[in-house]
Chain A
């Protein structure tokens, strides 16, 4: 049913996670997690709160040290891959009080390292181009704090485009974003994945899995399943993830009441 990580051609792997464990104060947040993701995939990471989605993202991003196993990003450790990944943390982790415009945020994608290389200005072309790709050019002078949830996410995606990284990690990117905006952003992300960007996005939305993602990683501390949305959305997997019956989750959608 689920695709094992070693079934994928390793040479084409962008992200390889092998027997990865992360432990907090004797509690295993990630327990022997293994999977491989080829370049140009759009992967949804599904799981309950506390299921280890953010921990996994942090480990891939190099923000979290793993206690066992290994993670390779294009053959290198996450810590050596800093700068090659764009990371959009959960919105609670952003300091929205910092007064920046949309343009200011997108241009952060061009910041390189910590020092002297950033004194000289950089070409604004890629920043403006990135803004146009996500339909945010018209709003480039607006303050980011005043934008809707969907517009904020578009801005972060534009920043990732300006950074020109191969991998994009989006943690709970659709939290507080209306359905229409989710669809628009998904279209942009699908387009990026087809252009060889590898995208991982954590999600709670069961109803849109098959429309949006190439594959879904089901995570509840350990990998419950990894495969195409149709393959993983089974009663057993959903029960393992959420402890309730499939029908109660899948049928919980607009118009079902």
Chain B
């Protein structure tokens, strides 16, 4: 029984690959998600995810790996959004909203022009981790290790600018460059997460495990560690549910992580009483 439920799926290569991708995503999403929730970058993250649609559509239509289209698209968008938030005299929410709705629309228009039949829109929008290829796994591993390494190297100054941007700048920290670095890291995490949960749900995977962790522990470091545990656990649990119950993997993973968040919320309410 237990073998059929837990071990048997792992004997299939596609499930093993999906599990490894889920572990990697379960680590990098809460790692960056902890910065996202505490710096209120949720809308920016959601916008960045929607803005990669044109790159993904072009890559799909050319029959090349979606990463190749999505990654440069996401990095450029991250830098443009970062620039606009600083330089343009309209609110950041407004400029982000204008950019992402424009690019999402451009993506849909490109898709209608080049022929929708060759592109599985559902897979782009809600992800399909069970169909990841060997190449996807390799690229995900390389990008995840890169994100984890860079975040650890710059962890202390990234935390400093998140808490006191101006104090950090005066103390000699290159705050503006690090802000852009954070956005680029965020864009990479969004791209690697797209294969698991798709454009629409990526924000859930980014913020829900970190938000659940923030209800359980106080300090930022602890939020990252507990967030990673929740991220890995909920993505793998969701993957098993989707496999056994024949459900779409992206939404199932998101529902599981939201259930963990709900439990954390109930716990915090009970403890407050």
In the complex, the answer to whether A104 meets B172 with C-beta atoms within 8 Å is no
Assembled-state Cα–Cα distance A61/B173 (Å): 13
Question: A114's contact among B39, B174, B220, by CB below 8 Å, is which?
Answer: B174
The main secondary structure of chain B at its interface with chain A is helix
Given the contacts A100-B219, A101-B219, A111-B156, A85 and B163 also touching, CB distance less than 8 Å = no
- The minimal Cβ–Cβ distance linking A105 to chain B, given in whole angstroms, is 7
Q: A99-B223, A115-B153 are in contact. Are A94 and B163 (CB under 8 A)?
A: yes
Contact mask for chain A residues 84-95; partner B; CB cutoff 8 A; 1 contact, 0 none: 011111000111
Residues from chain A with a CB closer than 8 A to the CB of B218 are: 99, 101, 143
- Are A93 and B165 interface neighbours, CB within 8 A? yes
Given A94-B164, A108-B163, A99–B171 Cβ distance below 8 Å?
no
Tell me the minimal C-beta distance from A60 to chain B in angstroms.
9
**Residue on B with the closest CB to A167?**
B170
Q: A114 contacts B173, CB within 8 Å?
A: yes
Nearest-CB residue, chain B, relative to A78: B170
A side interface size, CB within 8 A: 36
- Complex partner residue of B170 from A86, A95, A99, A156, CB under 8 angstroms: A86
Inter-chain contacts of B173 with A (CB < 8 A): 111, 113-114
CB of A82 within 8 A of chain B? Answer: yes
Which residue of B152, B159, B169 contacts A119 across the interface (Cβ within 8 Å)? B152
- Contact (A116, B153) CB under 8 Å given A93-B164, A101-B219, A108-B163: yes
In the complex, what's the smallest C-beta–C-beta distance from A79 to chain B, in angstroms? 11
Q: How far is the CA of A62 from the CA of B167 in the complex (A)?
A: 11
- How many residues of B are counted as interface, with CB atoms below 8 angstroms from the partner's CB atoms? 31
Q: In the assembly, what is the distance between CA of A109 and CA of B160, in Å?
A: 9
Which residue from chain B places its CB closest to the CB of A156 in the assembled complex?
B167
Chain A's nearest CB lies how many Å from the CB of B219? 6
Q: Within 8 Å of chain A (Cβ to Cβ): is B38? A: yes
Report the separation of the CA atoms of residues A86 and B174 in the bound assembly, to the nearest whole angstrom: 15
In the complex, chain A residues whose CB is within 8 Å of the CB of B154: 114-115, 118
Which B residues between 133 and 182 are near A, CB-CB below 8 angstroms?
Answer: 152-157, 159-160, 162-174, 177-178
Contact, CB under 8 Å: B152 / A108: no
B152 and A87 form a contact (CB under 8 A):
no
Mark A151-177 against chain B: 1 for CB-CB distance below 8 A, else 0: 000001001000101000100000000
- A179 interface residue (CB < 8 Å to B): no
Give CA–CA (A128, B38) in the complex, Å.
Answer: 26
Residues of A within 8 A of B152 (CB): 119
Task: Give chain A residues whose Cβ lies under 8 Å from the Cβ of B162.
Answer: 95, 98
Given B38, B40, B170, which contacts A61 in the complex, CB threshold below 8 Å? B170
Instruction: List A residues at the B interface (Cβ < 8 Å).
Output: 61-63, 82-83, 85-89, 93-95, 97-101, 104-105, 108-109, 111-116, 118-119, 143, 156, 159, 163, 165, 169
Interface residues of B (CB under 8 A from A): 38-40, 152-157, 159-160, 162-174, 177-178, 214, 218-220, 223
Shortest Cβ-Cβ A-B pairs, 9 listed: A83-B172, A87-B170, A98-B163, A82-B172, A118-B156, A114-B174, A61-B170, A89-B166, A108-B160
